A and B are shown apart, each in its own frame.
Chain A
Amino acid sequence: MKIPFSKKERTPFEVLSFISAIAVFSIIFLIFFALLIESFPAMKAFGFKFLIGLKWDPVRDIYGALPQIFGTLTTSFLAILIAFPVGILTAFFLTEISPSYLSRPISIGVELLSAVPSIIYGMWGLFVFAPIISRRLIIPIKNKFPNSPLFEGPPMGIGILTASIILAIMILPLIVSICREILLLIPDKVRESAYAMGATKAEVSFKILFPYAKKGIIGSAFLAIGRALGETMAVTFIIGNQHNITTSLISPSSTIASTLANELSEAVTKLHTSSLIFLGLVLFFLSITVISLSRYLIYSVEKNSGSRK
């Protein structure tokens, strides 16, 4: 719809709102330029090789970011692999299965998971969760499949797998709340007609509702990946912080954000600092890519479902 207002009478309120919009819009560019300028020495020294370099050696001042890029993508991918099915089933529980007196407290509870500070997840993961994972999950699997390349190395409970699970817990609320919103947007008519034909709840959920909301739900997954990519404190505590590329789920790795958190305050040479900021810039681009995808998917859902409520 078109809102009529004449161009002549701009009130201070309107001008202020426009200025704020410009200010908000420009923050991201300011941050981008600040990162760009600071990472220039590293770009000059390594160029494109930075992205495919395997060595991160502060002593010799040689920096390659592939291990961290690998770690960031792997943990985020595994996290979404875990959180997505859990999240969508939880959303189905809240909207389709649960009686209403249960669905409110549970959805608040799930939401509260996102309110727990990141550093608490880190400390909890380190002291409580990692030992449990090691004893109850990794050691039994190792005993069953002693030669599996996925479970090579000492079963400390620290590494890619544990970090991914903690990340999954942290992004779960985001997936649940978006999926829930989308499911609630689907008109009741759709459900009722299916139930009238004798469909079970599982069939309604997977065969009717899921295809209906597919794009939006997948969009939420991308948004959650975006969140996972930049997660810092929690991951730093439990990933094991070793810059290496590995096939083993239980061996240590490192992510871009954890490397920043670990090394930024202790970086002595200019090139080291600059390379760390270059890493930040790489993360920035990863986020932009993922969020663009999610935006595109969610946007097309909104367009399909017609007017908003």
Chain B
Amino acid sequence: MKKILLLTLILMAQVTLFSQVKTITGAGATFPYPIFGKWAYEYEKITGLKLNYQSIGSGGGIQQISNKTVDFGASDSPLKSEELNSKGLIQFPMVIGGAVITYNLEEIPDLALNLDGESVALIFLGEIKKWNDPRIAKLNPELRLPDKEITVVHRADGSGTSFLFTNYLSSVSLKWKNLVGYGTAVDWPTGVGGKGNEGVASYVKQSEGGIGYVEYAYAKQNKMKVAKLKNRDGNFVEPSVESFKMAAENARWDKVDNFYLILTDQSGKNSWPITGASFILIYKNQENCEKAKTMLQFFDWCYKNGSKYALDLDYIPIPENVYSMVENLWAEKVVCSGKKVWSN
């Protein structure tokens, strides 16, 4: 019954939509590109709205929304409150994903390798050089680690995946924080840089003893070997929809302003430590009222009806408690010619 009601509502909305706004353009982060495509595809079937989202990178997304060349931007790293306020933007999380660690060691199968934040940081700092280093062996008492050199592979292009990965290392290793820090692109102390997930994956594949990080969906779709990671609560967890969800649900979104929350190293028994959300950026003060409304309706639909599509593509949907906070924010902040655009 509820579904029928919703459907009629959507169909009614469609009548108004058709006469008004038919296309919405967005640009930004590469990570959510496939899922936005999927959502837009399904949403067009019911409403006829054409949504064009293009992946040009998070930095590009921020730049485009600042230059008003698009209706919304998307970024894998949240903006600080000052920056949002100075540009008149608001941000909210749209979908969750994360990075996983992949390796190329013949003798060690998928999910057999245990790592913790400290050891990963030291590997990527170039201090742990061999796989049989005692600091790795200690975490894997039951494994016979080979006497092989480690080849570090990182992303060459600035990316949200690098942002999450380096943010994670910064929060678990003081040394990493002081020497390198975090960002979409950093000054990598060692290793080689591959372009995109594809580049990292193929560099790792080509070097026996290689280690790198890729986004979860990529590793899952391409059946890559991934390592377990020790999380904040001290458990070795494997990356899965559940462990990502756990991290998102344990996060205290209500404690931060403007959803400025990076989900790395969250507490929770099974939380995956390298988790992050992809954010949408829109103007508080919208110029085209119809368009603003249409756009928010689309996001609302994604939150409420988009979960199964997200899971199909190995993305993690935003938990309900979080998106209701988001919709409250819309109701409070988004205006167009003096009037509120959204009401709950």
**Interface of A with B (CB < 8 Å)?**
55-60, 122, 126-127, 130-131, 134, 154, 156-159, 236-237, 240-243, 252, 254, 258, 261-268, 272
Decide if A262 touches B158 in the complex (CB within 8 Å): yes
Chain B contacts for A57, CB-based, 8 A: 186-187
Within 8 A of A (CB), among B173-203: 180-188, 191-195, 199, 202-203
Decide if A265 touches B56 in the complex (CB within 8 Å): yes
**B interface, by DSSP: helix, strand, loop or mixed?**
loop
Alpha-carbon distance A281/B158, docked complex (angstroms):
21
Alpha-carbon distance A58/B58, docked complex (angstroms):
15
Provide 29 A-B residue pairs closer than 8 Å at the C-beta atoms, listed in order of the A residue. Answer: A57-B186, A58-B186, A59-B181, A122-B195, A126-B199, A156-B151, A156-B203, A156-B210, A157-B206, A159-B192, A236-B156, A240-B156, A240-B203, A241-B192, A242-B188, A262-B157, A262-B185, A262-B193, A265-B59, A266-B58, A266-B60, A266-B157, A266-B159, A266-B184, A268-B58, A268-B59, A268-B77, A268-B184, A272-B185
Is B273 interfacial (CB 8 A cutoff)? no
Q: Across the two chains, which residue of chain B brings its CB closest to A253?
A: B192
Q: With A242-B191, A252-B192, A262-B157 in contact, is A58–B59 under 8 Å at CB?
A: no
Decide if A263 touches B157 in the complex (CB within 8 Å): yes
Q: With A126-B199, A265-B56 in contact, is A242–B192 under 8 Å at CB?
A: yes
Q: With A262-B158, A263-B157, A268-B184 in contact, is A158–B59 under 8 Å at CB?
A: no
Chain A contacts for B186, CB-based, 8 A: 57-59
Chain B contacts for A252, CB-based, 8 A: 191-193
Q: Return the contact of A131 from the options B187, B193, B195, B206 (Cβ within 8 A).
A: B206
**A interface, by DSSP: helix, strand, loop or mixed?**
mixed
Q: Return the contact of B158 from the options A154, A258, A266 (Cβ within 8 A).
A: A266
Alpha-carbon distance A254/B118, docked complex (angstroms):
28
Q: Across the two chains, which residue of chain B brings its CB closest to A135?
A: B206
**Interface of B with A (CB < 8 Å)?**
56-60, 62, 77, 149, 151, 156-159, 180-188, 191-195, 199, 202-203, 206-207, 209-210
Decide if A268 touches B203 in the complex (CB within 8 Å): no
Alpha-carbon distance A254/B58, docked complex (angstroms):
22
Decide if B188 touches A266 in the complex (CB within 8 Å): no
Top 9 A-B pairs, shortest CB-CB distance: A266-B158, A241-B156, A241-B193, A265-B57, A59-B181, A57-B187, A240-B192, A266-B59, A262-B157
